[in-house]
Amino acid sequence: MKSRLLLTGLLLSGLATGCSSASSPPIPSTAAQVEALTKDFDTWYRYTYARIQLARAYSPHGVDGRPLAKQAFLQQLATGRVLALRNGTEGQLPVYQLCPYPGGQDSAIRAASQQLAQEALRNAAWEGQRLPPFHWTDLKGVTYTSANTRGKVVVVKCWYTSCVACVDEFAAMDSLVARYRANPQVLVVSLALNQAQPLRAFLQQRPVQFAVIPASKAYLTDTLGVFEYPTHFVLGPGGQILHVTNRARDLAVALANAVPAARR
């Protein structure tokens, strides 16, 4: 299932719908529309990839159409009893509304929707915390510490060489590095779950523009608490975790929000 979620999504243009809402959403919806979007996994997945982005800012609403706290929204979505659909906008934010599942939908939709919600909950729980004090040295001998990175916005990508999704986003990561290269207050580094020698061999074939730091499984899993790859942390100038995401496309948005003056 996870491999299906990590596939490059296909964008759906012109699809915006939701459940009936007490708040009079600008986009009317019917049960038939909801059933059409959940008729099979691929239809639901294409819609969700394009329209439901839980790692970004949105206005969460419950089944009754009323505003809901983000954590409560995700907790309900993670139960597998409801799904999220886009239902218009509220100011600059898209409205995501919870809807009961129609009968007869593919069970894979429920499982995948739960997984996305659980992922968003885990990532949100990191926000506002700090990484344990660190002292990292990359493959070029450059050292990064909690002290010498203070005052910068730091992106930390966690990955490993045989992770297909991790490697697939190299181009997007390199684009981010290029976009912020002129800004001395932005730093992009990575922690790789590999030893130095195989990393160097791998990077000869797949060179990257960001710093690569060998890291042990014990450090990534036990010290940092990373269990899913790729995982990206955005650290604020004070060292606090501003955002955590598992996709480079969401990382680009989070970084732009963290460094408004450097937006492109």
DSSP result, 23-74: T--SS---HHHHHHHTSSHHHHHHHHHHH--TTS--EEE-TTS-B--HHHHH
User: 96 and 160 share a domain?
Assistant: no
Angle, to 10 degrees, between the axis of helix 70-78 and the axis of helix 107-126? 140
User: 247 and 139 share a domain?
Assistant: yes
- Which of 27, 30, 38 minimizes the C-alpha distance to 84? 38
| Coil, helix or strand at residue 250 | helix
Q: Which two tokens stand for residue 117?
A: 């919600």
pTM: 0.81
Residue ranges in the chain assigned as alpha helix (H): 2-6, 31-37, 41-51, 70-78, 107-126, 164-168, 170-180, 196-205, 217, 248-258
Question: Greater confidence, 194 or 21?
Answer: 194
What is the pLDDT at residue 19? 57
**What residue type is 251 in one-letter code?**
L
User: 102 and 145 share a domain?
Assistant: no
Question: Pick from 79, 100, 126: which residue ends a domain?
Answer: 126
pLDDT digits (tens, 9 = 90+) for 147-206: 999 999 999 999 999 999 999 999 999 999 999 999 999 999 999 999 999 999 999 999
User: 92 and 194 share a domain?
Assistant: no
Share of the chain above pLDDT 90, in %: 74
Q: Across residues 76-87, what is the average pLDDT? A: 92
User: 87 and 142 share a domain?
Assistant: no
User: 186 and 224 share a domain?
Assistant: yes
Q: How many whole angstroms separate alpha carbon 250 and alpha carbon 8?
A: 14
Query: What's 250's domain CATH number?
Result: 3.40.30.10
Question: Pick from 75, 102, 126: which residue ends a domain?
Answer: 126
Question: Pick from 126, 143, 178: which residue ends a domain?
Answer: 126
User: 146 and 119 share a domain?
Assistant: no
| 220 secondary structure, DSSP code | I
pLDDT at residue 28 greater than cutoff 80: no
Residue ranges making up the domain that contains 98: 2-126
User: 140 and 205 share a domain?
Assistant: yes
User: 112 and 192 share a domain?
Assistant: no
User: 159 and 231 share a domain?
Assistant: yes
Total count of domains within the chain: 2
What is the pLDDT at residue 38? 87
